[in-house]
Copies of this chain bind each other. A is one copy, B any other.
């Protein structure tokens, strides 16, 4: 509908996830009105990111160097690996400040519908990392959905005879949530995983 470059921009923006035709138009006009240097900076960052961003050769987290910030940090506990699906999940876990070990980014989850099997994930590289015996604990932090659960189950079976402590993140009611609005599966998990208040904080109820 628009002439030349403006329409090209709207078309390109419309291809981004979560950006519909109306938002694309809105962003395009925002950029038209914005100072040239702001728009050129965005263009430059887009170029730079494709040049510089890569994946960590150890854990497959996004990185600017061969090894990511976490893998380079000598203060991290290299006996624990938290297995996640995506780099985004690394940031989410880092934000909790609960975990001081290393990560392993699988690059997705097992999903037969999308044609993604174990061989499409960085599972072989995880086994290689475990080979030298440094790691003694694995935390399976895949998403609490069908694909994430399937991946966690697959990995726990794969790793079960390697003498590692293997755990899965707790499922239950989200903090600040409302019991009456919890879905039945989550509420069921919250029951199954309930903690007895007179026992030490880390002990959970028997399954």
Contact = CB atoms under 8 A, between A and B. Distances in A.
B30 A16 contact: yes
Interface in A28-80: 28-32, 36, 38-53, 62-65, 68-69
A64 B4 contact: yes
Q: Count copies of this chain in the complex.
A: 2
A183 interface: no
Contacts of A15: 38
A31 B65 CA distance: 19
A12 interface: yes
Interface stretch (A84-92, A128-136, A168-176): A84-92
A123 interface: no
Interface of A: 1-6, 8-9, 12-13, 15-19, 23, 25-32, 36, 38-53, 62-65, 68-69, 86-88, 91, 94-95
